[in-house]
């Protein structure tokens, strides 16, 4: 399957190149090449990136566990069709980690499609997005995995994020004053996650987000990029909140997690998720804060006769605080504190606290970098202690 997909991609690229009028080779990190149609009615930028990750974990009296893998490998296509106001993005995940999650709900095929979305700027400040892409949830999840400040995202993101889904998004922005910018996003999605082929199983998922930028835009969309690589010359702040309502959700983490089966089908309950986040940057210093809360009308899954199925919605709260400072030689020291506290009576899980210290060397920004971090995980009730060390190399053409 993987070989077949790779051959198809290579053949498509060969056809496109042979029929293109102009091929430009951008600077490093700006894509492999740009294609322009003969009449300039379409463009395509092709990019490729890869993350090589090594991990070592020590947990109390257990033996050390190490692992080296290609964490992510992505092939990207983006540009416009017919008009610069009609843009598109396609992103394919080629590593095993990217394609994991095969199930009956994905037609038992790898989930290699990450993004497939069309973006239509049909009015001055209005854009309509159609397809599969990230929902407007917590800031850390929307930040690309290529632009993270630490090796990977936090425990909060792992437990609460709403990731990608198929649907529609309406995006709008306006200026309250010369510098004060407000962004608004409303989304309607299928509610079962990405690459689902079985159709809608419960209700639909509705997400709203509003962002306030009182001091204007960050440089190079820095409000959605880790670290202050642009060394903002004046303080920049973004405050955002998202509210997600998944009607008759059938998975334990809204549109993520395990499906909740019953003796006659699926268990359905309304699940809500709230995110509040902020990003601040100034002169090499950066700080990001996130809060998450998930709740459900009835979080304990039951069969039709009232007996318990053993599945529960993962309700609870999370807090993530992250900061870093970029030195003059493009080395950065960063730190993170994360707390995830699920409802113990419902989920049977204890509160977790994770402390992370990281160091990064940015050779060509986020496009070529080496990152390393060490984390200490403390699960107090069970007295479980875990140390994790990671080293990762990123390259993006």
For the chain, domains (ranges, CATH) are 41-48+64-354 (2.40.160.10)
Local confidence band at 18 (pLDDT 50, 70, 90 cut-offs): low
- Token pair of 162, please? 């709403």
Cα gap 222→228, rounded to integer Å: 7
Strand pairing of 352-364 and 316-326? Answer: unpaired
Mean pLDDT of the region 79-96: 96
Contact 113, 102 (CB under 8 A): no
Q: How many CB atoms lie within 10 A of CB 113?
A: 18
Q: How many CB atoms lie within 10 A of CB 42?
A: 17
SS3 percent helix, strand, coil of the chain, rounded to 5, is: 10, 55, 30
Q: Which of 323, 192, 183, 198 is nearest to 254 (CA)?
A: 192
Cα gap 394→50, rounded to integer Å: 6
Local confidence band at 384 (pLDDT 50, 70, 90 cut-offs): confident
Local confidence band at 19 (pLDDT 50, 70, 90 cut-offs): low
- Measure the CA angle with vertex 326, ends 321 and 332; round to 5°: 75
Q: How many CB atoms lie within 10 A of CB 63?
A: 7
Local confidence band at 91 (pLDDT 50, 70, 90 cut-offs): very high
Q: What is the pLDDT of residues 267-324, one digit of tens each?
A: 999 999 999 999 999 999 999 999 999 999 999 999 999 999 999 999 999 999 999 9
Checking if the pLDDT of 124 tops 60, the result is yes
Mean pLDDT of the region 239-256: 98
- Residue length of the chain: 397
If DSSP states are collapsed to H, E and C, what string results for 285-305?
EEEEEEEEEEEECCCEEECCC
Q: How many CB atoms lie within 10 A of CB 134?
A: 20
pTM to 2 decimal places: 0.92
- Token pair of 207, please? 């997400």
Mean pLDDT of the region 198-216: 95
Cα gap 324→361, rounded to integer Å: 13
Cα gap 62→346, rounded to integer Å: 29
Checking if the pLDDT of 1 tops 60, the result is no
Mean pLDDT of the region 350-379: 96
User: SS3 for 356?
Assistant: strand
């Amino acid at each position: 399957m993987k070989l077949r997909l790779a051959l198809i991609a290579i053949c498509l690229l060969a056809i496109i190149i042979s029929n293109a009028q102009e091929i430009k080779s951008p600077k490093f990190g700006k894509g492999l090449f740009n294609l322009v149609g003969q009449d300039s009615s379409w463009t395509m930028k092709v990019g490729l990136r890869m993350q090589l990750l090594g991990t070592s974990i020590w947990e109390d009296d257990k033996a050390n566990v190490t692992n080296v893998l290609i964490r992510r490998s992505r092939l990207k296509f983006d540009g416009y069709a017919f008009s610069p106001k009609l843009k598109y993005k396609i992103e394919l995940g080629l590593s095993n980690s990217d394609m994991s999650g095969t199930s009956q709900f994905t037609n038992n095929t790898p989930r290699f499609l990450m993004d497939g979305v069309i973006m239509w700027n049909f009015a001055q400040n209005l854009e309509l997005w159609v397809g599969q892409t990230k929902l407007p949830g917590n800031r850390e999840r929307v930040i690309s995995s290529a632009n993270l400040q630490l090796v990977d995202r936090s425990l909060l993101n792992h437990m609460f994020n709403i990731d990608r889904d198929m649907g529609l998004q309406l995006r709008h922005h306006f200026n309250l004053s010369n510098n004060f910018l407000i962004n608004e996003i409303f989304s309607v999605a299928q509610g079962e996650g990405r690459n689902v082929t079985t159709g809608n199983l419960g209700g639909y998922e509705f997400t709203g987000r509003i962002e306030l930028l009182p001091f204007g835009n960050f440089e190079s969309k820095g409000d959605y990029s880790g670290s202050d690589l642009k060394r903002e010359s004046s303080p920049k702040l973004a405050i955002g909140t998202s509210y997600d309502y998944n009607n008759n959700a059938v998975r334990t983490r809204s549109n993520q997690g395990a499906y909740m089966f019953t003796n006659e089908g699926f268990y359905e309950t309304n699940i809500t998720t709230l995110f509040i986040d902020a990003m601040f940057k100034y002169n090499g210093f950066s700080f990001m804060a996130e809060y998450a809360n998930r709740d459900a009308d009835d979080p304990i899954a039951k069969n039709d006769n009232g007996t318990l199925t053993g599945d529960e919605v993962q309700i609870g709260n999370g807090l993530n605080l992250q900061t870093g400072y970029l030195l003059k030689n493009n080395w950065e020291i960063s730190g993170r504190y994360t707390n995830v506290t699920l409802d113990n009576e419902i989920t049977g899980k204890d509160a977790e606290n994770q402390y992370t210290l990281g160091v990064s060397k940015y050779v060509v920004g986020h496009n070529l970098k080496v990152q390393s971090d060490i984390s200490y995980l403390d699960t107090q009730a069970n007295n479980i202690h875990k140390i994790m060390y990671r080293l990762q190399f990123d390259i993006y053409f």
